[in-house]
Amino acid sequence: MRIQDTFAQALTAVITQPLRTLLIIVAMSIGISSVSVLTALGESARSYVIHEFQALGTHLLIILPGRTETTGGQPPVFGETPRDLTLKDAEALMHSTHIAALAPVTVGSAPVSVHGLERETTIMGSSAALRRVRHLNMAMGQFLPDTAFDQPRPVCVIGQTIREELFSNSPVLGQWLRINDRRFQVIGVLASEGQSIGVGLDELVIIPVASAQTLFNNFSLFRILIESKSKASMYAAQNDIKRMITLRHDGEEDITIITQDSIVNTFDDILAALTLIVTCIAGISLLVAGILVMNVMLVSVTHRTTEIGLLKALGASQQQIIGLFLSEAALLSLAGGITGLIIGQLSLKLLQQVYPDFPLQLPLWALLAALSVAVITGLVFGILPAYKAARLDPIQALSKR
Amino acid sequence: MIELNNIHRDFQVGEQTVHALNGINLSISAGEYVSIMGPSGSGKSTLLNIIALLDQATSGSYCLDGHDVTHLDETILAKTRREKIGFIFQFFHLIPRLTAYENIEIPLTLAGIAPKLRRDRVTSALDAVGLTDRASHKPDQLSGGQRQRVAIARATIMHPAILLADEPTGNLDSHSGIEIIELLEQFNQQGVTLLVITHDASLGQRAHRNIRIIDGQSST
Ligand SMILES: Nc1ncnc2c1ncn2[C@@H]1O[C@H](COP(=O)(O)OP(=O)(O)O)[C@@H](O)[C@H]1O
Ligand SMILES: [Mg+2]
């Protein structure tokens, strides 16, 4: 039997049993659309997060006070910090030849006010190098001046939200604002970054690190952000940092170094695993669809017993009967798969309308995978009915009326 | 052409063994016209099914065209059935969703013949059974006699050497019954070996040779 004829026969069988066809297409398309939508969500979340972290800068090293024993684990948020990171540590690290830029960071929260308008916000103390290390863009004015770390100055750079809330549309540059009891002159406004992982840049007020230390009366650093000279010098920079800090901290290596690489990899792994889990859960609906395909096909075999018996009496071999039923299953599930993909794409379009900022798309591989999964499901669950049909005894099949 | 040697066919029904065929010996040469008669349940259909390779004997041997076909692989069996044997049933067994034309086409499609050649052969087969104007009719739009003629066209489309008919007139009135038998006889006149099971003695007498089956044994 020619392949075209096998499929043509299967197609007429599909068309002449509209209820069965509809049932299988609905079940299969539910499975395929949920798998494709959830895969798209997972994939998009992954690439979004990875992209966000990559925007942090590719040669970024973050030093935290305290040491985690398990490598790759959580930074010690609640653990006691054995020895503080200080501005002196930061200055010492500047001597490493592998470090291109270094920004000490302290963080605190304080009320900020202008002409009676007041709000509580995050105050970050840092240096001029922060702009380079974090790839910050200015909307207007300039960033913190490049002065020695230990030199306080009454200047600040503010985020867009702060600007809108405290100054609305009036001019900002050169204006004074009050943090706690101290006055700072606004010298720059950050460009809006939209959503960013970690600190919301739009709600930030950045002041020189020495000013922040006196403001909060806290002389230990929250972090030191470092940009190494190149991707290749990341390791050398890490070694330098460990050696220098150990030397300064009485032989104790009491810091944790996080690289942007390790963060990205961790999140990549976590989100890939999440996507897989979610896809597997949606895969259950495919399994259900497969079982439905099997049952409906089995019913169809019983229904068409006489026809199958006749085909065998007319000289159809077992392989031909199997071929006929498997191509029927394949056609049905392919139709279901395509319908499912269309439904999936429409749902994604709809979601995209609701969340325009979130990049949503089904990668091509997932599209093809969904289609092949549909067909494979149909084939696997079509095998049993096909074999049942092929093994029918023609005489008994024909005598059944 | 057909050589049956001591054919037995037992059916297991629960604890009981039914001996449908009890040592049948039969020899039919090419081009013969044979009728098979006998009481109901005597084993006529069982015999014809074995000759048609639809069923296998429990013991004994069957030679078709000089080849032992008693134990053949399923694929070869199907091929032999398709190419050498045409079978006509009492209940026509047409596929209801297919037209007369499409029903006749099935064996050609199964044999992997190209569409153009199929069209020529189905058209002439429809002509041979006098149903050219009914080509696009579904079985339920045809009379019993017309349906059986479609079935005959289907059975002969592969130009088989043997034509087997199990009570082909059993479901027809006597007038169309005669027409069907005459159509089958036409094929016999063209050299096709013809075996017909029938209840009707007058139809049976038209054959060159009559075989009587009683209790699974033949008595000529
Ligand atoms: N598949 C079967 N299972 C059990 N018994 C069968 C089967 N087919 C036929 N028989 C028995 O074999 C005997 C012959 O049947 P059959 O060849 O159909 O008779 P006929 O066609 O002469 O009326 C009957 O007794 C019938 O009951
Ligand atoms: Mg019978």
Q: pLDDT at position A74, please?
A: 52
Nearest-Å Rg of the Cα atoms of chain A is 33
Please indicate, yes or no, if residue A64 is contained in any of the structural domains: no
Please indicate, yes or no, if residue A259 is contained in any of the structural domains: no
The per-residue b/e assignment along B21-60, b for 16 or more CB within 10 angstroms, e otherwise, is: bbebebebeeebbbbbbbeeebbbbbbbbbbbbbbebbeb
- Read off φ and ψ for residue A260, nearest 5 degrees: -60, -35
> What's the burial of B109, exposed, middle or buried (CB within 10 Å: 0-12/13-18/19+)?
buried
Q: pLDDT at position B95, please?
A: 92
Q: pLDDT at position A56, please?
A: 67
Q: Are residues A128 and A148 in the same domain?
A: yes
> What's the burial of A69, exposed, middle or buried (CB within 10 Å: 0-12/13-18/19+)?
exposed
**3-state secondary structure at position A43:** helix
What span, in angstroms and rounded, lies between the C-alpha atoms of A19 and A23? 6
Q: How far apart are the first and last CA of chain B?
A: 19
Cβ distance B81 to A314 less than 8 Å, yes or no, reads yes
Q: Is the CB of B43 under 6 A from ligand 1?
A: yes
Indicate the residue of B83, B93, B111 with minimum beta-carbon distance to A398: B93
Tokens, residue A302: 């019983």
What span, in angstroms and rounded, lies between the C-alpha atoms of B9 and B70? 13
What span, in angstroms and rounded, lies between the C-alpha atoms of B93 and B83? 19
- The pLDDT confidence band at residue B6, using thresholds 50, 70 and 90, is very high
Closest by CA position to A310, among listed A397, A201, A188 = A397
Segment-wise mean pLDDT, segments of 10 residues, chain A, 401 residues: 89 87 89 86 82 74 75 50 81 90 93 90 93 88 92 93 89 92 93 64 91 92 90 86 89 83 80 84 83 87 91 93 93 91 90 82 81 88 93 88 55
Q: Are residues A101 and A237 in the same domain?
A: yes
Q: Are residues A117 and A196 in the same domain?
A: yes
| Pair A102, A130: CB distance under 8 Å | no
> How many other CB atoms are there within 10 angstroms of residue A164's CB atom?
12
A320 chain-B contacts, CB cut-off 8 A = 78, 110
Cβ distance A317 to B106 less than 8 Å, yes or no, reads no
- ipTM passes above 0.95: no
Question: Per the structure, how many domains does chain A have?
Answer: 2
- Read off φ and ψ for residue B200, nearest 5 degrees: -85, 110
Q: Is the CB of B35 under 6 A from ligand 1?
A: no
Which H or E run contains B3? strand B2-13
| B146 pLDDT more than 80 | yes
Q: Are residues A127 and A249 in the same domain?
A: yes
Q: Is the CB of B18 under 6 A from ligand 1?
A: yes
Domain final residue, candidates A233, A253, A273: A253
Q: Are residues A246 and A363 in the same domain?
A: no
| Cα within 13 Å of Cα(B33), Cβ side | 16
Q: Are residues A187 and A141 in the same domain?
A: yes
Residues A378, A379, A380, A382, CA torsion sign: positive
Q: Are residues A161 and A139 in the same domain?
A: yes
Q: Residues with Cβ < 8 Å from A199, sequence gap 6 or more?
A: A107, A122, A124
* Best mutation site among A393, A395, A398 for ligand 1 pocket (most ligand atoms within 8 Å of CB): A395
Cβ distance A315 to B110 less than 8 Å, yes or no, reads yes
Q: Position A262: which residue type?
A: S
Q: Are residues A345 and A234 in the same domain?
A: no
Task: Please report the atom of ligand 1 found closest to the CA of residue B12.
Answer: 4
Lowest average pLDDT, out of A245-259, B31-45, B161-175, goes to: A245-259
Q: Are residues A119 and A239 in the same domain?
A: yes
Q: pLDDT at position A253, please?
A: 82
Domain range enclosing A392: 3-53+265-398
